Copies of this chain bind each other. A is one copy, B any other.
Amino acid sequence: MMHVSWNNLIAKDARALTASEIRDLLKVAERPEVISFAGGVPDPKLFPLGELSEVYADLMADDVAGRGALQYSISEGMPALRQWIAADLAKEGAERTIDNILITNGAQQGLDMLARLLLEQGTKLVVEKPSYLGAMQAFSTRHPDYIGVTMDDEGVVLADLEAAFEAGARIAYLAPDFQNPTGLSYSLARRQAVLELAQRYGAVIIEDAAYCKLSYEGEALPSLLALDEAGRQDEDAGTVVQLGTFSKTLVPALRVGWVTAPRPLIEKLVLLKQASDLHVATINQAVALRAVEKTFPGHIDTVRDTYRTKRDAMLRALEDFMPDSVSFTRPKGGMFVWLTLPDGIDSRALLERALEEEKVAFVPGQAFFCDKSGENTCRLSFSAGDPARIREGIERLANLIRRVHNQ
């Protein structure tokens, strides 16, 4: 009998899939005695359990709607849900039809399917430095050539973006609102300038709008999708492909997200969705629609108020406890604060000591850089903990950093 040789059978482009060491290290962070800023998952206390319970009960009490929600459905996604999303986009200034929207398993599947359609070995792909790790995991299954562009306080640096387009890149993945991992947002002027550049080069921007509803101060800025002149004149001719999700505003476990794009791309995405897994769970689409109709926008206000308090607690603690040599972002929304440590402090080594000596966890920033720079950076999430524990955790981390710095 000859045994199967898995190493030989795995396709060449799939051999690079390897587990992250950080993930193993962070398993320790799940212990109750650890104050973890590592996660970045929503606070489960915010889930509208009672309302969702009613939605499920109402749906299942209706024989026709209930059985319909349990049957196979079309790959595009439920028309009424796409209609709700289109109406919500319109409120934000982006007029699109339901034919411009595909429902996906969270925004993550949108990233993965866009990677499968638009990337191949060697495709030049612009990403922010740092960028969302999950996006790069999806993109990397296709082995693009990353071109990292630096971020300043107003967003991606224009000269870097233009240089990337000059070098032949035609796809840029950008997160202009409360970015994961930095919490940074683009200014209005930068948004307009980025779009103008993309339009000049005929480039596509993949706009990650996962966190865009989680704004805690000031007026929300229009999305790249809403600002895109080409898309406003003709919904099938735009520059921007936008990813959305209910994971941060309602619940993540339904896995309901969406892609908004010009129809030529949506048509390809629908075919890929069908080949991939047929469609998003029918009942989850039906429940998400009923739940947002029932609870939005009031529920989003509650979510914002809660996370604002947590953010304020983290920022105040950072100001009170961190040495001056540590700088940090002051996000106006989202779930993350980004720390830059003095040069020479390696945040991976710091994490090991933080877990050991202070029972505090965070994510070392290097994993978010396509060029593996950022050794002295850390991502801290304030979404899960309560304010007192956030303050306690930041104090512990600051104490450790002082000790490391003085060594």
Cβ-defined contact, A199 with B1, below 8 A: yes
Smallest CB gap from A204: residue in B: B4
Question: Which one, A217-225, A276-284, A317-325, is touching chain B?
Answer: A276-284
A318 to chain B, nearest CB (A): 26
Cβ-defined contact, A253 with B49, below 8 A: no
Name which of A12, A52, A203 has the most chain B CB atoms within 10 A of its CB: A52
Contacts A/B (CB < 8 Å), 17 sampled:
A1-B229, A3-B230, A6-B264, A13-B120, A18-B271, A19-B267, A52-B60, A52-B70, A53-B56, A53-B66, A56-B60, A70-B251, A72-B253, A112-B277, A116-B141, A254-B283, A281-B281
Copies in the assembly, this chain: 2
Q: Cβ of A25: which chain B residues have Cβ within 8 Å of it? A: none
Cβ-defined contact, B108 with A277, below 8 A: yes
Chain B CB within 8 A of A349 CB: no
Cβ-defined contact, B112 with A262, below 8 A: no
Chain B CB within 8 A of A167 CB: no
Chain B CB within 8 A of A406 CB: no
Q: What 3 pairs across the A-B complex have the smallest Cβ distances?
A: A2-B202, A53-B60, A253-B282
Contacts A137-B274, A170-B9 known; A262 to B123 CB distance under 8 Å? Answer: no
Q: Cβ of A276: which chain B residues have Cβ within 8 Å of it? A: 108-109, 112, 138, 276
Chain B CB within 8 A of A404 CB: no
Cβ-defined contact, A14 with B116, below 8 A: yes
A171 to chain B, nearest CB (A): 7
Contacts A2-B201, A117-B10, A238-B4 known; A47 to B67 CB distance under 8 Å? Answer: yes
List residues of A whose CB falls within 8 A of some B CB: 1-7, 9-14, 17-19, 41-42, 44-45, 47, 49, 52-53, 56-57, 60-61, 63, 66-73, 104-106, 108-109, 112, 116-120, 123, 134, 137-138, 140-142, 170-171, 199-204, 229-230, 237-239, 247, 251-255, 262, 264-265, 267-268, 271-272, 274-284
Q: Cβ of A123: which chain B residues have Cβ within 8 Å of it? A: 11
Q: Which residue of B2, B4, B72 contacts A200 across the interface (Cβ within 8 Å)?
A: B2
Contacts A4-B238, A120-B11 known; A68 to B44 CB distance under 8 Å? Answer: yes
- A272 CA / B275 CA spacing, docked (Å): 16
A142 to chain B, nearest CB (A): 7
Q: Cβ of A14: which chain B residues have Cβ within 8 Å of it? A: 116-118, 268, 272
Contacts A116-B14, A116-B141, A272-B14 known; A199 to B2 CB distance under 8 Å? Answer: yes
- A67 CA / B251 CA spacing, docked (Å): 9
Name which of A118, A171, A275 has the most chain B CB atoms within 10 A of its CB: A275
Cβ-defined contact, B238 with A255, below 8 A: no
- A44 CA / B282 CA spacing, docked (Å): 13
